[in-house]
Structure 1
Amino acid sequence: MHADAEHALTAFFDQLKVEVRASEHTIKSYQRDIRHLIRYCTDKAIDRWIDLKQSDIRAHIASRHRRGISSKSLQRELSAIRSFYNFLLKNRLADNNPAQYVKAPKQSRKLPKTLDVDQISGLLEAGTSSILEMRDVAMFELFYSSGLRLSEMTALNLTDIDLPDRSLIVRAGKGGKSRLLPMGGKAVDALEKWLTQRLKMTAAAEPALFVSSRGTRLGQRSVQLRLEQWCQKKGIAEHLHPHMLRHSFASHLLESSQDLRAVQELLGHSNISTTQIYTHLDFQHLAEVYDKAHPRAKKKSE
């Protein structure tokens, strides 16, 4: 790079350190990201920052993407380049920001992990040996029965469930939205067993549906730990977290009903595109069945 370009870069990092008071981690990240851009400039014989065009930034990011750099990392690199060029513009060392409208490639969405019906049965029908385990099974049944988020589960109060009607109300879902949900028979049975023991653990004035051994509302981290302990005790090798039960609820319901809108409502998704990820899971299942069953689907033996 030209000496003036080097001086501009040094001034930029000095400004980050002295004026902006950026953390050492941020400065090192910016330095690393700009170094990648410098390599591109060297390869293309570009020695002044003012000579970089939008097409160059786009080509640089595309090259990094082809090397397997994640979308998240590329977004960070673009942010560093934009910040640098904003500094250059402010100091009249550039007349435009070539990274301004360049976007990183979209990250491919990871499909959520789910359990099959037999795995769910093995998890929920393993038997209980204490009051705490009765509470835990009631929670796990409710996760799978109604597709609750972890935060929604721990926020439930006694007044939010209607056992005779087999329904519950989520009063503060994501985005502050409430929704009425059905409960399955297995979940109702598990809740009835838990409620016969609940008062042994807490005062009558405690509103929370699920309480800890101290008699207070059960926290989200405690629910996660209890599910891990349950799996270890029952010899379940799969590493589970509560959201996997919600994912399994959505996948199994969509597989059986094919009603995307209904599943969207039950999950409390504001945008149906969020729910559509489960259609990919359903297609994977159908594709596996097809490959195994269709006489013309099997590959020829070598």
Structure 2
Amino acid sequence: MTLAPYAATVLAQAQTWASLPDDELRRRAVQAAGDKHVADLLSLTRAYLTHEGVSGLLTSPRTTEAYTLGVRQFLEYATANAVNLLRPGRRDASSYVAFMLSAGRKPAGVQLKVAAANCLYRALRWAGATEADPFKDVKIPKDRTPGLVKRPPYQEDELADVLDHADVHVKFLLFLTAHAGLRISEALALTWDDVDEASRRVHVRSGKGRKERVVAMSTSLARASRHYRGLYAPGGPDHTDGKRTTPVGHVFRYASPMTARYHLEKAFQAAGVKFRGFHPGRKYAGTRLLQQVKDFGRVAAHLGHESIDTTRRGYAKLATDDLKDDLAGW
């Protein structure tokens, strides 16, 4: 019986490439690129991310997932259009961009797909398979439409209608995204120790870029949190079948954004409100908070943005007549 190499962890999977002698690493990468072998090229890209990526072994699963999908789509295009991966033509990269734009993909989406394809080529160069860098100078049109226009926040009355049709789980999750401004991954990663109703604080330990922050609770969120804790915290009453209702230590009984989406969509549908994802909740938090504090820096800190430009571009804006009261005495 042949024993397969241990690959149960990200590092172990990456080591299947990184532990190879240079000549063998190059040979296998060249063969994978020549054959356009999807599984091997995806594995090589993930190994590169683990060893040479900006975050290395701590690269987030979402980033890895996005790059995996982007590399897979680029390889589909390369196969259909006979692109030589090791010696791409000087117009192959721009042709790929044009192909995506002509298919209706937005510039921001094209940027993400190009980043993934670029990561594949960094992995091939890391392996010594090629010196090609076809996406180095590729131009992608800028999308001039503001993020708040393309993907606006939920409105006050929309959220109120949904809350009227939401169960305890959905109501608490909705307040975490629309009042505390948490990303869905941050909310689902919360443990009971992270939520402090007495001081009205939420400790986010799994923020984007592995940054922690402490977020203030609204009065409504604190109330919803106390109610939720009374029902579902360890030692509390159980209204299901006598089994634990949440994973050990975690606040929510579901850990997957897809499962959370399913439950939220049901509440939105019952309320007659179109569900547009989790981010419009964060945008609601940013927009409403900015209207009150009029300080992009404080709003950026609340949302966990490293730069206030991110907040300004896509998450919050002041009304066009915001200065009228300040100018009234001029």
Q: Quickly name the TM-score band, shorter chain normalised.
A: 0.5 to 0.7
Deviation at 1:175, TM superposition (A): 1.2
Which residue of the other structure, out of 292, 312, 320, is the alignment partner of 1:256?
292
Aligned residues: 232
Give the letter aligned to residue 123 of structure 1: V
Pair 1:115-2:154 in alignment? yes
Give the letter aligned to residue 34 of structure 2: V
Report the Cα distance in structure 1 between the residues aligned to 2:198 and 2:187, rounded to whole angstroms. 20
Q: 1:144 to 1:98 in 2, by over 3 A?
A: closer
Deviation at 1:166, TM superposition (A): 0.8
Identify the residue that residue 35 of structure 2 maps to in structure 1. 21
Pair 1:238-2:277 in alignment? no
Deviation at 1:139, TM superposition (A): 1.5
Which residue of the other structure, out of 194, 215, 224, is the alignment partner of 1:181?
215
Identify the residue that residue 10 of structure 2 maps to in structure 1. none
Pair 1:147-2:181 in alignment? yes
Identify the residue that residue 250 of structure 2 maps to in structure 1. 208
SS of the equivalent of 2:36 reads coil
Q: 1:264 to 1:166 in 2, by over 3 A?
A: same
Report the Cα distance in structure 2 between the residues aligned to 1:31 and 1:205, rounded to whole angstroms. 43
Deviation at 1:278, TM superposition (A): 3.3
**Residue by residue, what CA displacement relative to the aligned partner does 1:48-100 show, whole Å, maximum 9, x if unpaired?**
xxxx9x8xx59x77x959x8575529959x97xx99xx9xxx99xxxx98967
Does structure 2 conserve the Cα–Cα contact (< 8 Å) formed by 1:254 and 1:278?
Answer: no
Which residue of the other structure, out of 198, 212, 237, is the alignment partner of 1:164?
198
Deviation at 1:119, TM superposition (A): 1.7
**Residue by residue, what CA displacement relative to the aligned partner does 1:83-118 show, whole Å, maximum 9, x if unpaired?**
9xx9xxx99xxxx98967532224427543311222
Report the Cα distance in structure 1 between the residues aligned to 2:133 and 2:199, rounded to whole angstroms. 61
Unpaired stretches in structure 2, ≥5 consecutive residues:
1-29, 39-72, 84-88, 239-243, 323-330
Deviation at 1:17, TM superposition (A): 8.0
Deviation at 1:160, TM superposition (A): 0.7
- The TM-score, its normalising length taken from structure 1, stands at 0.60
Identify the residue that residue 105 of structure 1 maps to in structure 2. 140
Radius of gyration: which is bigger?
1
Deviation at 1:127, TM superposition (A): 5.3
Instruction: State the percentage of identical aligned residues.
Output: 17
Does structure 2 conserve the Cα–Cα contact (< 8 Å) formed by 1:141 and 1:187?
Answer: yes
SS of the equivalent of 1:148 reads coil
Identify the residue that residue 228 of structure 1 maps to in structure 2. 265
Does structure 1 conserve the Cα–Cα contact (< 8 Å) formed by 2:114 and 2:135?
Answer: no
**Residue by residue, what CA displacement relative to the aligned partner does 1:225-264 show, whole Å, maximum 9, x if unpaired?**
1100111223x23123222211211122223333111111
Identify the residue that residue 21 of structure 2 maps to in structure 1. none
Unpaired stretches in structure 1, ≥5 consecutive residues:
1-15, 36-51, 290-302
Does structure 2 conserve the Cα–Cα contact (< 8 Å) formed by 1:158 and 1:209?
Answer: yes
Report the Cα distance in structure 1 between the residues aligned to 2:294 and 2:306, rounded to whole angstroms. 19
Structure 1 stretch 18-27 or stretch 219-228: which is displaced more? 18-27
SS of the equivalent of 2:203 reads strand
